[in-house]
Chain A
């Protein structure tokens, strides 16, 4: 697994851009973690969050439907359709729900890198 380190963020190579379905998500393995990676084809933007839905602690967000709410990108968990902002990870349908961890994404040519905290 190739990684690029900057000051406090470690960028690791997740997959090729073509591995991710248009307007959809995939699950990326990073060490023992699972990260959900989403591609919004229309705006050509990428988002990454934890794959675990905090509601019932299910590894499912990468399989959820993506979309927008009043312009804000979001994903809906396949289990109970709770939706989370992909910008800041907060739950949009239940203010008492825990927020998701979000990760920065960088594209270089056709390669997708996700930034995680450097340890």
Chain B
């Protein structure tokens, strides 16, 4: 089957997408002719071209999209003739193509009113990217600009002039008010006063009779003989369907333009379809993108033998005009016989809301929102789905009052077949099912269902549905720390930083309530440590620490503690080994080599901890932070100093890194390793950050994890030198510390990070957020503030006092502690 599509606008493109999807690209030959030199772009967001978006940003799909689907795309080559008898088309450049089915998606052109002088220099249309480029070139010489047309497109064009830096922008409307087709008089007045406050000059009831100027435009004369001076003029007074080719081919057209189609979008020639703004269905042109998409769907289905029909389309719409929300839905202008209206008008804030209610008060018929259209989606759905209104219908405008719960018409109240995304025709059920299948972010739902990918208007509603569905599944939605802090960890960290708070009490005073608990105390304590790196037992923060941090040791069965001195990179001298052995003997401790190349000493009584550390510190040891959500160890292989395969000195680099980040507290523990060659003896790819030597430098891997859910670390950057490697680690760790949820390891954090590894790489390596310098600075602050906390305890009698079992008998040890013997060492007595 061979299909030729004439027109490569949004609707023509959507037709290609639908037909390719429906046929799996099999048995289909698709040829597209487009008049413009660019492939289809998003005309809805055209004014964003002036706020910095490029033509490519606005593009619906790149040229490769067409190529990879074997779509023959002729751009800048409009079709001139249709030979219906032989089923061929002839293009401007002389290409002849045969067709089985022909689809006209020729769209519309700007309607140009027949005003004398319309061909003067400085007069523009507002329709295509080319038009915008012409305006852009002319605007710098214009001080005053004027738009003819106070409808939707006219106001868009006015915004374009403002964005182009035209100082004084006027809008001229023939009707007595702005947007006469969408909103009522009061709504127009509110909109007008809001726009005037933003600097637009608006002239209504003005009929332009003449365009003044010698060669270039200098002003407009109106039928009342008044004159408006202007340096450039943009015509945006409506659209006129591009039906000239259809007329030429003998297809029926409407007397005011438009190609006549039936419910299947067939023209009077059954093998020729017309879709989008060129099609005239039931006497109506549909000048919005959503009905155009629906037409593509119906036409594509019908060509493939499916029975679908187009029976008109709801023209409800919501826009942001120059920063002002405007929406109208259903029937915005209900007459007194059809129903009654509830109106809310706030001239102070510039808000106008009107809802139209059926005579029996049961249903919403339509309405208008100006200045605040947040309720649009819900109202639209309430209207479309004939949801029964609450007994006081004004509640849906004003929200719940008198402490009552929100009225019943929330997202959950909508029926399953409610269409949430009307552009892509996605139902509530489809979205909820996608969420249930694990797509729990807006991006994931977009990918899975296409909802929200076109105009984006339904995005807030999709978000609400995601939240509601997850809640219904009993999932945790807002990530607040606990009942005492209504903030996520990230929010709390930012607040604590801004206010420079340094103790749990201060944080609780400022941002919490109650006394705190075992959940929020360690979170806040960790945030404070990650921001300032103060000694964690000062300022009353000792009792906010998790129990292990509070005693700077790991509690073990029976209530004794284990002690882990830092052994950077796993390198240790015989002298230090001997000291560890002597200390273990003296305090009767069980010794074991850990997985992180250190030695753990178990079975220490609380009151012995300061004594043990006094001896260890005297021998040159320092805390290993085995008790903290902090950097644990940087494991290393022996590297190039001994190993015949080693490329670099992995031990020296591991020591350098361990000493840089020692004591660094984070949302969870951090492990690292350095391998001297690709044999990876240090198992760096199972660490939060792991480094492997290459011929040219180091490969840096991040977000690996051992434990119960092993996950390989992923390459962040390859072949980098030591300095760059440390810079990237600084940024990576700080970014993790600042954004992760409590007790989230780097691997889980990455899995939840929107955009995943590519996003992380962009932030860390390409500095996409522009925060790299800040992250490095913050890390340097922590590195510079490092002190061995055990050294501080040993030297501080007040802190030492806390390390006793009985407050009223500090010299006595806990008499209930019992040990047993196994393989010539002690072990904790088994608990019950």
Interfacial residues, chain A to chain B (CB-CB below 8 A):
14-15, 19-29, 34, 37, 40-43, 56-60, 63-71, 73-74, 76, 78-79, 81, 83
Chain B positions within 8 Å of A60 at CB level: 555, 559
Which B438-483 residues have a C-beta within 8 angstroms of A? 483
Shortest Cβ gap from B654 to chain A (Å): 32
Per the bound structure, the CA–CA distance linking A23 and B509 in Å amounts to 14
- Within 8 Å of chain A (Cβ to Cβ): is B806? yes
Q: Is the interface of A mostly helix, strand, loop or mixed?
A: strand
Chain B positions within 8 Å of A25 at CB level: 543
In the complex, which of the residues B522, B555, B808 contacts A29, with contact meaning CB atoms closer than 8 Å? B808
In the complex, which of the residues A37, A40, A79, A81 contacts B515, with contact meaning CB atoms closer than 8 Å? A40
Which B530-576 residues have a C-beta within 8 angstroms of A? 540, 542-544, 546-548, 550-551, 555, 557-559
5 residue pairs A–B, Cβ–Cβ below 8 Å? A29-B809, A29-B812, A59-B817, A67-B520, A68-B517
- Within 8 Å of chain A (Cβ to Cβ): is B802? yes
In the complex, which of the residues A24, A41, A83 contacts B518, with contact meaning CB atoms closer than 8 Å? A83
Chain B positions within 8 Å of A15 at CB level: 807-808
Chain B positions within 8 Å of A24 at CB level: 542-543
Shortest Cβ gap from B798 to chain A (Å): 10
- Given A21-B802, A22-B540, A29-B809, is A57 in contact with B832 using a C-beta cutoff of 8 Å? yes
Chain A positions within 8 Å of B520 at CB level: 67
Chain B positions within 8 Å of A34 at CB level: 806, 814, 816
- Given A57-B831, A63-B550, is A68 in contact with B808 using a C-beta cutoff of 8 Å? no
Chain B positions within 8 Å of A69 at CB level: 483, 517
Per the bound structure, the CA–CA distance linking A56 and B831 in Å amounts to 6
Interfacial residues, chain B to chain A (CB-CB below 8 A):
483-484, 505, 514-518, 520-522, 540, 542-544, 546-548, 550-551, 555, 557-559, 802, 805-809, 812, 814, 816-817, 831-832
Q: Is the interface of B mostly helix, strand, loop or mixed?
A: loop
Chain A positions within 8 Å of B807 at CB level: 14-15, 19-20, 26-28, 37
The answer to whether A68 touches B555 (Cβ under 8 A) is no
Per the bound structure, the CA–CA distance linking A71 and B831 in Å amounts to 33
- Given A15-B807, A19-B807, A58-B558, is A66 in contact with B816 using a C-beta cutoff of 8 Å? no
The answer to whether B515 touches A68 (Cβ under 8 A) is yes
The answer to whether B547 touches A63 (Cβ under 8 A) is yes
The answer to whether B831 touches A58 (Cβ under 8 A) is yes
- Given A15-B807, A21-B802, A59-B559, is A42 in contact with B547 using a C-beta cutoff of 8 Å? no
Nearest B residue to A52, CB-CB? B816
The answer to whether A64 touches B559 (Cβ under 8 A) is no
- Given A23-B543, A65-B546, is A76 in contact with B806 using a C-beta cutoff of 8 Å? no
Shortest Cβ gap from B626 to chain A (Å): 16
Most chain A beta-carbon neighbours within 10 Å: one of B520, B543, B814: B543
The answer to whether B517 touches A67 (Cβ under 8 A) is yes
Nearest B residue to A40, CB-CB? B515
The answer to whether A66 touches B543 (Cβ under 8 A) is yes
Most chain A beta-carbon neighbours within 10 Å: one of B521, B555, B808, B814: B808
Nearest B residue to A25, CB-CB? B543
Chain B positions within 8 Å of A20 at CB level: 807
The answer to whether A23 touches B544 (Cβ under 8 A) is yes
Chain B positions within 8 Å of A28 at CB level: 806-808
The answer to whether B517 touches A71 (Cβ under 8 A) is no
